[in-house]
Structure 1
Amino acid sequence: MAKLNKNGIVLITIVASLGGLLFGYDTAVISGAVGALENYFIGALETDKDLAVAAIFQFKVIISICVLALVILFSSFLLKFFSKSKAYLIIGLFVLIGGAVYYFQFLSLPGVLTENLKNSILGFMVSSALVGCIIGASLGDNVANSIGRRNGLLVAASLFLLSAIGSAYPDSMNIFFGDSLSAFIVYRIIGGMGVGLASMLAPLYIAEMAPPKIRGKLVSFYQLAIVSGMMVVYFVNYFIVQGQAEMWINTTGWRYMFLSEGIPATIFFLALLLVPKTPRFQVMKGNEKDALKVLTNLNGPERAPGVLAEIKKSFGKKKAHWLYFGGTVVIIGLLLSIFQQFVGINVVLYYAPEIFRGMGMETDASMLQTIIVGAINMIFTVVAISTVDKFGRKKLMMIGSAVMALSMIGLGFALYLETTGVTALMFMLFYIAAFAMSWGPVVWVLLSEIFPNSIKGVMAVAVAIQWLANLLVSWTFPMMNNNSDLIAMFNNGFPYWIYGIMAILSGLFIWKFVPETKEKTLEEMENIWISK
């Protein structure tokens, strides 16, 4: 086989590094600001009853709009899975039952700032970007097929930049109806749309550009870029708060955290202008000559025509029904996304400084501990990259599930028995290491590999479900962790036991249902589902 062109590999790495870095940066920037945001926004509601009543009303309006948007998006997905009559029946039942529960359990609540409602507002403020992630990921397939993978990433970069500025100054940039809290939430949702698009388009771009023998490694670089972005923002947050008074952090420091995202967002946008469109998108649009040029650059002149022929053949069924290969591949993709979040990773990433502060650490020390978490995350992601194409996907995932389960259950007991400090920190670091070398990068590899080209749009559903699961976990954590009754019974250990149980279930799922995709071409993966 001809040697791969290094310039082509560099182009793939640029997309992975910058697209993933912005993803990680935007996801983790909130972690350093949680305490300040709670003080700045929620604290004001506790001291001003009229402001609280207005904020609760706006909160209900925002949640209702988000719920409506998500219902429309997932209804469009159901119409692609089922016949119209069956899809409308499912949608109708969901709207009827869900709408009744939503009204009586949320909308009809009085405008009083109770403990649960306060924790709910805080949880949604922290996780609001995930609503945008769901929307962005849901639109990813349409964006990818209309303007292309690369141009879609340019849109994502623009959304990142707008969100960075708006989130930093929601009061002065409030062009929406409502107060600054509502404006902050809207700008975070806008940034989340960029993250959602990137999470759908970047792995797809890399998988379509990469030769099979190194595809797992290159798609894993996307996860490395994500954790690199997290690591960068942990340092940024640390240096912003270092030596500063608590009042300055609560009024000004958090703004700089969000504004700092504008720098990598601008670099990302400019770098994307140098990246070519993928061969599969070129073939889809009838530009076979341009596709062959890219394939020759990546695979060499001997192999490129054969790869082009495989791509053209795979698009012979490009309009296949999403259940064309049966429900197995779809269910596996959705459950991969759900389990990746239900094991609780983003609780640790979003709330790490608050978790450490809950262990009695000062602000500077908790930020420093967060950097240690980020470093472990990065180191073991590198381990995954070096082993995913040699060791295989299934083994890494099963080992990761086992270690995560032991770590989360152990962390829960450490908190329950009030033996925090080094013990709790070690359990958390073991958990991060296990996730970083398994479920973190390998899920992205599997999602980019398991769906045949003719139903590649299902990946948008899987990524959207992933963000929905992330939203549920991140939103509910403060409700469990800050609930006075649960604290009295379990000393904050309860949520971690839940995540430990999810890790056990995730390992059983991988063992029984997920096929090994190591060294298989995207077209060979299609044959696996046909045979089933």
Structure 2
Amino acid sequence: MTKFHLYFSALTACLTASLFGYSVGFIGGLLVLPSFLSHFHLSNLPANLLAIAQARIVTLWLVGAFFGVLLGMPVCSRWGRKWCLLFSAGMYVCGVGLQLYPVDFGGDGNGALAIFEAGRFLNGLGVGCGTLVSPMYISEISPPNERGMLMSGYQTILQLSALAGFWGAYASNSLFLDTSPLQYRLPIAIQLVPGLLLLFFTLFIPETPRFLAEKGRFDEAETALAWLRGVGPDEDGKVAEELDEVMEAARVSEVLKGRKESFLKEVLKKGVRERLVVGVGLMIAQNMVGLNALNYYAPVIFMSAGFTTVSSSLFLTGVFGVVKLLSAIAFMFGFVRIKGNRFWLLLGSALCGVSMFILAYFVHALPPQDQLADAKLTIGGVISVLTVYIFAFSFSVSLGPISWNVCSEIFPLHINAKCCAVTTCTQWLFQIVIAYITPRLLASIGWATYIIYALFCTLTYIWVLFSVPETRNVALGKEMDQVFAGVKDDFDLEEDVETTVLLRAERGGLRRGSFGTYT
């Protein structure tokens, strides 16, 4: 039994994280490139109008990602996870094409900027759709003992791509003249690489066995599972037990769908409600503990700490990205196997909270932004820098990857896509909120912003302690139901399931062989 097919499929799905990460990483550098400002006639705008234009470019992408989740949900539910991955890649690549479109209809930059912004919105639609389907796909193809590691690959590739985006814009600025359009077009064009790779490689991976079984395509489900587990027809017995679990989950899903209850009625049931609270809560916590405050303010912190040159500040900011990447890799290949999700969530939120309190204390003592040139290197400044890195590490081994992992695995199959859409929309909604309020908080209350985020870290620790169960190594389906007092607690499904099996058998819907347990 080889794991190559499993790892290849998971890696392909993880390419949606590359769309996400690079888009986040390169845009900040792109918006200040002289060639970009010149091409779109932004360089002569007053500072306030320039800030509005730059904010609109960023916000349109975030709004596009939010609606991309909603757009991807029916694709994911009706046509499958694989088609949703293709849909995500297609929208993303088309969005990049519009961003590279060279024509300026009005001659004043407005026409070109409008096309570029439309491309950013379409690009965001693709990213949002990808953030919905990719964790679902990986979760549904993974065996329980591999799921945590494979899911963590999403966060690792996200951080790697964000780092590439940051340094890509930096390198383009260094390599090309300010008058060369290649200076801004190259970082944009690089987006095509992960987009086209996702589009191409998705053609070679199967649909998830759980989705195929849910749709009654049992032969295809068996073939897909055997391919993912790397076994041949003569080794069918090695996947029979897992196939039985997939079939049972599909049968229960069919019975529940047959009741034709509204989604609202479904989520009000105890087992589903508890899961949705956990998923939404983790996505809110992931944004509210303050990582984006550091992403936004890290260069100024480093300059205030005494690293006053632009090059040293940018270098330390680059190290900040490297720390996040190395932490994600360490979690993927090491930490995820050592302890469960609850342990890392508790440890990570605690360390993030302590880091924010320490940072607030030392940032309060650092010179204000208008006196950065006079800043001197002090012990407090060095501690501030180290604290930023400790926070990055703590976040990257806890809320960073685990929020996505848990949301992808806890929901019942028959409403999985809808529930994941709710949690993923929550993620994007709070990204928009944080992007809006963080600069305003820093401008108005300064160092006290970190106190606010420290309090959110404390609330997250308390909430995880009392509300988030352990899901590591728990199989999808019946075992996950038991963790959350399950869907079955609200109904007696056994009679309905048996009736469904008999009816399907009479119609020839089940075949004998690997499914002999149910026929």
Q: Of the two, which has the highest radius of gyration?
A: 2
1:289 aligns with 219
**1:529–1:121 Cα change, 3 Å:** farther
1:186 aligns with 2:134: no
Match of 1:474 in 2: 435
Aligned CA distance change for structure 1 residues 281 and 305 (closer, same or farther; 3 Å) = closer
Query: 1 CA distance for matches of 2:116 and 2:296?
Result: 17
Matched, 1:275 2:236: no
Partner of 1:25: 22
Q: How does 1:363-374 map to 2 (within 5 A)?
A: 363-374=310-321
1:362–1:417 CA distance, 2 compared to 1 (3 A): same
Q: 1:218 to 1:460 in 2, by over 3 A?
A: same
Match of 2:364 among 411, 416, 431: 416
**TM-score in terms of structure 2 length:** 0.78
Larger CA deviation: 23-32 vs 459-468: 23-32
User: Gaps spanning 5+ residues in structure 2: where?
Assistant: 230-237, 368-374, 376-380, 491-519
Aligned to 2:399: 439
Partner residue in 1 for 2:372: none
1:146 to 57, 73, 78: 78
2:401 maps to a residue whose letter is P
- Quick one: structure 1 residues 37 and 310, their matched pair in 2 at CA, closer, same or farther if it must change by over 3 Å? farther
Residue identity in the other structure for 2:318: I
Deviation at residue 22 of structure 1 after TM alignment: 2.0
1:232–1:127: structure 2 CA closer, same or farther, 3 Å change rule?
A: same
Partner of 1:237: 169
Give the match for residue 215 of structure 1. 147
Q: Please tell me the residue identity of whatever aligns with 1:310.
A: E
- Contact (CA 8 Å) 1:28, 1:349: kept in 2 or not? no
CA contact (8 A) 1:279 1:294 kept: yes
Give the structure 1 partner of residue 57 of structure 2.
125
Q: Name the CA distance, whole Å, in 1 between partners of 2:146 and 2:21.
A: 23
C-alpha deviation, 1:121, in angstroms: 5.1
Where in structure 2 are the equivalents of 1:453-464 lying within 5 Å?
Answer: 453-456=413-416, 457-464=418-425
Name the counterpart of 1:55: none
User: 1:241 is matched by which residue type in structure 2?
Assistant: N
Taking a change above 3 Å as real, the CA distance of residues 136 and 219 of structure 1, as seen in their structure-2 partners, is: same
Amino acid paired to 1:285: K
Matched letter for residue 393 of structure 1: N
Q: Secondary structure at the match of 2:206?
A: coil
For 1:228, the equivalent position in structure 2 comes to: 160
What RMSD over aligned residues (CA atoms) do the two structures have, in Å?
Answer: 3.2
Aligned residues: 454
Deviations 1:331-364 (A, max 9, x none): 2211111111112223444665576567765554
Q: Provide the residue aligned with 1:72 in structure 2.
A: none
Q: Does structure 1 conserve the Cα–Cα contact (< 8 Å) formed by 2:96 and 2:188?
A: yes
Aligned-pair distance for 1:529?
A: 3.3
Q: 1:303 aligns with which of 216, 223, 241?
A: 241
Which of 71, 92, 96 does residue 160 from structure 1 map onto?
A: 92
What's the offset of the Cα at 1:169? Answer: 5.1
Alignment partners' CA distance in 2, 1:339 and 1:495: 16
Cα distance change, pair 309–283 in 1 and its aligned pair in 2 (3 A): closer
1:378 to 325, 335, 339: 325
* Preserved CA contact (<8 Å) 2:349 2:458: yes
Aligned to 2:426: 465
Pair 1:506–1:158, CA change in 2 (3 A): same
Amino acid at match of 1:379: L
Residue 183 of structure 1 deviates from its aligned partner by: 3.7
CA 214–23 in structure 1, closer or farther in 2 if over 3 Å, else same: same
- Counterpart code for 1:195: V
Q: Which amino acid aligns with 1:510?
A: V
d(CA) in 1 for partners of 2:113, 2:304: 25
**Contact 2:37–2:43 under 8 Å retained in 1:** no
Q: Report the equivalent of 1:339.
A: 285
Counterpart Cα distance in 2 of 1:333 and 1:202: 16
SS in 1 for 2:205: coil
- Mean Cα deviation higher: 284-293 or 177-186: 177-186
CA contact (8 A) 2:353 2:457 kept: yes
Distance 1:43 1:136, change over 3 A: closer
Q: Verify: 1:8 aligned to 2:5, yes or no.
A: yes
Give the Å deviation of 1:243: 6.5
Runs of 5+ consecutive residues of structure 1 not aligned to the other structure: 53-112
Task: Give, as a single letter, the amino acid of the residue that structure 1 aligns with 2:462.
Answer: L
Given the alignment of the two structures, is residue 450 of structure 1 paired with residue 410 of structure 2, yes or no?
Answer: yes
Which whole-Å deviations, capped at 9, do the CAs of 1:115-174 have from their partners, x for residues lacking one? 6x8756544433431111111112232110122111111121122223334335576499
* Structure 1 residue 367 displacement after superposition: 3.8
Q: Deviation at 1:375?
A: 1.4
1:426 alignment partner in structure 2: 386
Task: Tell me the alpha carbon deviations over residues 462-487 of structure 1, each in whole angstroms, 9 at most, x when there is no partner.
Answer: 10111010011012223333x3xx2x
- C-alpha displacement at 1:232, in angstroms? 2.2
Structure 2 equivalent of residue 529 of structure 1? 485
1-side partners of 2:55 and 2:481: how far apart? Answer: 40
- 368-377 or 415-424, larger mean C-alpha shift: 415-424
SS at match of 2:213: helix
1:329 aligns with 2:275: yes
Paired residues of 2:159 and 2:324 also in contact (CA < 8 A): yes
Shift, 1:21, TM fit: 1.9
> Whole-Å Cα distance in 1 between the matches of residues 145 and 247 of structure 2?
18
272-281 or 495-504: bigger deviation: 495-504
Is 1:502 matched up with 2:499? Answer: no
For 1:290 and 1:346, locate their aligned partners in 2 and report how far apart those are by CA, in whole Å: 43
CA distance in 2, matches of 1:281, 1:411: 47
Q: Does the aligned pair in 1 maintain the 2:13–2:198 contact within 8 Å?
A: no
Looking at structure 1, the residues matched to 160 and 11 of structure 2 have their Cα atoms a distance apart, in angstroms, of: 13
The 3-state SS of whatever aligns with 1:522 is: coil
Given candidates 448, 467, 490, the residue that maps to 1:513 is 467
C-alpha contact (below 8 Å) 1:120/1:476 kept by paired residues = no
Deviation at 1:204, TM superposition (A): 0.1
Q: What's the CA shift string for 1:352-386, capped at 9, x where partnerless?
A: 55765677655544443333122111111122222
When residues 426 and 244 of structure 1 are mapped into structure 2, their CA distance, relative to the original with a 3 A threshold, is: farther
**Alignment-mate amino acid for residue 426 of structure 1:** L
User: Post-superposition shift, 1:408?
Assistant: 2.3
Change (3 A) 1:280 1:241: same
* 8 A contact 1:149–1:278 mirrored in 2: yes
Q: Which amino acid aligns with 2:420?
A: M
2: CA distance, partners of 1:38 / 1:475: 27
Task: With a CA cutoff of 8 Å and minimum separation of 6, indicate the structure with the bigger relative contact order.
Answer: 1
The answer as to whether partners of 1:295 and 1:307 remain within 8 angstroms in 2 is no
Query: How far apart are the structure 1 equivalents of 2:458 and 2:357?
Result: 10
Q: 1:43 to 1:293 in 2, by over 3 A?
A: closer
How far apart, in 2, do the equivalents of 1:467 and 1:404 lie? 21
